[in-house]
């Protein structure tokens, strides 16, 4: 079999025993078909005794040709951020709920992967965002986001106030519950529930979506990939920045949050019959009558 991949890493949702059986079943299938199988170190810690080599994520990035992620979109978000600089192609097997990123089904993963491992796949590049917080001109926080960077109030019941600039040009001042800066991938996440537009993942665009703005004329806007989004905090009562709901940082008055497109992209692989629009119909129930 002339295949583009020889060494394949398997990564499962951490602390979820439901991934154990399908992961071991996939590992055995790959081993029987003469692939070199390695397992992520954290994933391996929840497996019974096995004979597969275990590697850290950094070692996986340096040594493997492909990574298969079994879990939900949250698992894929986490792995994608950590492996993006290694340009390892990723395949997602859905063991979660919606599964916008993990689009293969556990029930049919062996049949679908068999074809993909023989070369029957399509490649998709997706952008990430880099967020940094500047406090008195020093960088106090830095993180990547595959979905979104969110400025949001905590337990406080009051609105937050901040100023938004794009490429050093003043755009607006906003009183709201928060602001979502989303990638096309994140446009079907929190941004969608806040009234933001759905962006096709092939686009390199950034959406700014206010969360419950006090002024109804504040609407979502979409900017280009070279935009530098700057958010200046005016009111800092219990205010935080969240990156993919994974990395958090408490903000103070006069903090500046700079959000820009990250220069490297995530490489996702899909089966040849993958359709983004069909996925939207299925996940969002567009084919159902009220």
CATH of the domain at 30: 3.40.50.10330
Question: In this structure, are residues 259 and 223 in contact, taking their beta carbons and an 8 Å threshold?
Answer: no
DSSP-derived letter for residue 65 is S
Closest CA to 201 of 113, 139, 274, 98: 274
Q: Which residues are catalytic?
A: 73
Looking up residue 196, the CATH number of its domain turns out to be 2.60.200.30
Per-residue pLDDT tens digits for 22-48 = 999 999 999 999 999 999 999 999 999
Range of the domain at 184: 129-261
Closest CA to 104 of 95, 94, 96: 94
Is residue 206 in a domain?
A: yes
Q: At residue 1, does pLDDT exceed 50?
A: no
Per-residue pLDDT tens digits for 71-128 = 999 999 999 999 999 999 999 999 867 788 998 999 999 999 999 999 999 999 999 9
Helices (DSSP H) in the chain: which residue ranges? 20-32, 41-44, 57-63, 73-83, 109-117, 190-193, 276-284
Same domain membership, residue 142 and residue 90: no
Q: Give me the number of domains the chain comprises.
A: 2
Instruction: For residues 211 and 216, give the distance between their C-alpha atoms in angstroms, rounded to a whole number.
Output: 11
Q: At residue 265, does pLDDT exceed 50?
A: yes
Is residue 1 in a domain?
A: no
Per-residue pLDDT tens digits for 127-175 = 999 999 999 989 999 999 999 999 998 776 678 899 999 999 999 999 9
In this structure, what are the phi and psi dihedrals at residue 63, rounded to the nearest 5 degrees?
A: -120, -20
Contacts of 107 (CB under 8 A, 6+ apart): none
Same domain membership, residue 218 and residue 142: yes
């Amino acid at each position: 079999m002339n295949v583009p991949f020889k060494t394949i890493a398997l990564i499962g949702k951490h602390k979820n025993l439901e991934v154990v059986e399908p992961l071991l079943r996939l590992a055995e299938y790959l081993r029987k078909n003469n692939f070199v199988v390695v397992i992520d170190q954290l994933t391996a810690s929840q497996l019974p005794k096995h004979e597969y080599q275990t590697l850290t994520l950094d070692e996986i990035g340096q040594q493997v040709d492909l990574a298969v992620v079994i879990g939900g979109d949250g698992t894929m978000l986490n792995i994608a951020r950590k492996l993006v600089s290694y340009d390892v192609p990723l395949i997602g097997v859905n063991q979660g709920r919606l599964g916008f990123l993990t689009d293969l089904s556990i029930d049919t993963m062996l049949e679908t992967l068999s074809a993909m491992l023989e070369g029957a796949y399509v490649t998709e590049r997706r952008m990430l965002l880099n967020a940094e917080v500047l406090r008195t001109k020093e960088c106090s926080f830095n993180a990547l986001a595959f979905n979104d960077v969110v400025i949001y109030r905590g337990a406080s019941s009051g609105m937050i106030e901040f100023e938004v600039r794009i490429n050093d040009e003043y755009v607006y001042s906003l009183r709201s519950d928060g602001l979502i800066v989303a990638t096309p991938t994140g446009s079907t996440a929190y941004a969608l529930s806040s009234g933001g537009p759905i962006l096709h993942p092939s686009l390199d665009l950034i959406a700014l979506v206010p969360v419950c703005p006090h002024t109804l004329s504040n609407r979502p806007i979409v900017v280009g990939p070279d935009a530098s989004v700057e958010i200046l905090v005016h009111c800092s009562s219990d205010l935080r920045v969240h990156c993919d709901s994974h990395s958090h940082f408490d903000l103070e008055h006069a903090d500046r949050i700079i959000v820009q497109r990250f220069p490297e992209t995530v490489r996702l692989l899909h089966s040849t019959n993958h359709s983004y629009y069909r996925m939207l119909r299925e996940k969002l129930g567009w084919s159902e009558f009220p």
